[in-house]
Structure 1
């Protein structure tokens, strides 16, 4: 069972990547409705683009858990700890990669930014696989609470972001949506 779960963690990467690419446009497609703003990027800031990893990861882990928890005997605490690890590592990788490459080159490129989503999901899923395989976990309430706090932070920063570069949309010269 463990090998199938590990395989599926890798298979999920291109699927979440494609979902993330599609999610880039959802806010525009739905006429910039405020109630979907916390879930999808509302501008071109690097922080808003981390949503492209956050929501697909949440969706994959929840759907997979409820579809296969009994078949594969998935350990709930390890699974949701792995989700939290993947989310944190993916977001961190995306931010660090962006500022590293754009700082060295002096500008950013759309194709490299798209690649950063794929890279961040890959690094996040490898980290999650490691935690799941080692059966490393924190209490379920801690994992889920941490994810809810992070989502609350997304809501807050979508509507009232800190005025720092991480939240600034250089294309529109503004901070919030």
Structure 2
């Protein structure tokens, strides 16, 4: 029971970190004076894809830090985090397009709730996968880290060369990417 309570606090702390850093990243591009470097990891418009970046990059940074400083007991971080961040990233468009499809419009409070739920889902999955102990093989860690780096590349690439699909469309300007 004590281990589960620690797990819940860990999930809440990591969710809070992600929500806080992701919320700050929402404004970094504007604060930087439209700096091209900041565009790679912060939101450059109001598209769903750019909001997915706000979840991914805090989780990616955390993963890199934990991987570099991990203890022997934490050997499953890259593989677990790759799967859990894919779950969280999937939740953003699923929840957003579901609620806007039902209601017919979006609301800022609901958008924020979607982001918080996606972050919480990421770390709930992270906790479950870590406790399962199934993703500890070295090749799984390599595959997880490669998947995370590939996803980071995709986020940066698609900021500058976005596909002409709804996920990348800025509903405010009607444009894609920068």
TM-score (norm 1): 0.90
The alignment covers a number of residue pairs equal to 173
Change (3 A) 1:2 1:75: farther
Q: Which residue of 2 aligns with 1:45?
A: 47
Q: How does 1:145-156 map to 2 (within 5 A)?
A: 145-156=146-157
> Is it true that 1:115 corresponds to 2:134 in the alignment?
no
Q: Which residue of 2 aligns with 1:20?
A: 22
Q: Moved runs in structure 1, 4+ residues, more than 3 A?
A: 1-7, 64-67
User: Any gaps of 5 or more consecutive residues in structure 2?
Assistant: none
Q: Is the 8 A contact 2:57 2:152 kept in 1?
A: no
> Is it true that 1:87 corresponds to 2:88 in the alignment?
no
Distance 2:144 2:168 in 1: 25
Q: Which residue of 2 aligns with 1:29?
A: 31
Q: How does 1:1-177 map to 2 (within 5 A)?
A: 4=6, 7-67=9-69, 69-70=70-71, 73-76=72-75, 78-137=76-135, 139-177=140-178
TM-score (norm 2): 0.89
How far did residue 7 of structure 1 move? 3.6
User: Any gaps of 5 or more consecutive residues in structure 1?
Assistant: none
Distance 2:77 2:7 in 1: 10
Q: Is the 8 A contact 1:2 1:133 kept in 2?
A: no
Q: Is the 8 A contact 2:19 2:119 kept in 1?
A: yes
Distance 1:64 1:8 in 2: 14
How far did residue 133 of structure 1 move? 0.4
